[in-house]
Structure 1
Amino acid sequence: MADTRTAGSADGGDSLMAATIERLVTSGTFSLGDDTFGVENNVWIIGDAEEAMVIDAAHDADIIAAAVGSRRLLAILCTHAHNDHIDAAPALSDRTGAPILLNRKDLDLWHRTHPDRVPDDEADDGRQLHVAGSRMTVRHTPGHSPGSVSVYDPALGTVFTGDTLFCGGPGATGHPFSDFGTIIDSIRERLLTLPPETAVCPGHGDTTTVGEEAKHQDEWLDRGY
């Protein structure tokens, strides 16, 4: 488990909102085309003692369900549809009754992993998600995949970026359905415009901040991910 972050009242009141962020790290494989290799994924759980939401149900529905515990699971949000971020989503949904949310532009990728199952709802740009008094907004951040999204909560001071932005730079774009110029535009226009102290919680690896990553934009362009 990573360190837990707690948000203040979303409405500016004196009481503290109970929403916290928990991180699970699960292990499995990532496959695209002819390539398959081992990966570790961050599974983010936002909630309180009564309810929760999961961002990216990766690899092991049993482990994720155990972490959610007796809380009511309101949604399973997929930041994108690469198999390592969605492979456990249907099993977790079946177990908990929580709907699966995915941006419609990633449906082709989704069906490569789950040809006989469709997501329950759409993670459209601007959609607001509510859990444990927390109000999060979906931001479409394509480039790593056409339907990649990030989820921002100003009260928690956190953005969940999937594989769009990591500690150290943009997500990979050297595979089908991805584009380097698009991911750079998404990061610059939709993520680096957030307050610099905003915590960046990615789909893999360590957390960082918007301000820290903004320092290295020229390096990204030189490397040309």
Structure 2
Amino acid sequence: MVCLVQRSAKICQNRLVGCLITLLYVLLLSTSVFFGFFSDSVNYLFIASLSRDYESFHSKAAVLFHAVVYLIHGTIFIVLAVKFGKWSAVWNMGLVVSVLEEEEGEDGKGCIYGTNALSLSYWYGRGHEKRDLLMMLMFLVFAIATRMPCLYSRCSLSGNGVLYTGVYVGLICVGNVVKWVACVVSYYDCRARVLEKKDDVEIGSKAKGFAT
């Protein structure tokens, strides 16, 4: 009984450490993308300020040049937003993989974490990029919708600040729970489809071997 408890505690500890390692990778990757958003926005605002400060920029050639620059920055922003939506789905599923996925090792079953979890998450999600992107965009819209009213009305400065803050925090918690439940459901669905295709390929190869 003691050995069973110790083994369970070790498994939980390994999974916790694995999840933290995967989370560090996710934070590093997401920070890099946010840095790309920030640098693109700073460059855009810098060029916009130059166009307002100098009268020579009002010529037709200068206006055309800045229109092209704005178009380039807008395209970069849209591409980064779409990529971030797809990558965030992979990153979130990677955290789910670190919790639920198991691999056989010398000491028994262990967890998958870090780059292995993210690679496996990408492999599971192939062919479902559009669905995952829509799911992430839906949760992003929900997050913005729950945060903007409180920021706009300055909930903490109103008479019912405590009530508004409680509702605000409650909506965020509910949104996070729903998001992770959706990620778990997506993980099991993608995993089942991948394993089904793998079984079909193995059956087809065996049938071909018998035929020859």
Could you tell me the TM-score, scaled by structure 2's length?
0.23
More strand by percentage: 1
Provide the TM-score with structure 1 as the length reference.
Answer: 0.22
More RCO (CA 8 Å, sep 6+): 2
Specify which structure has the higher proportion of helix. 2
Larger radius of gyration: 2
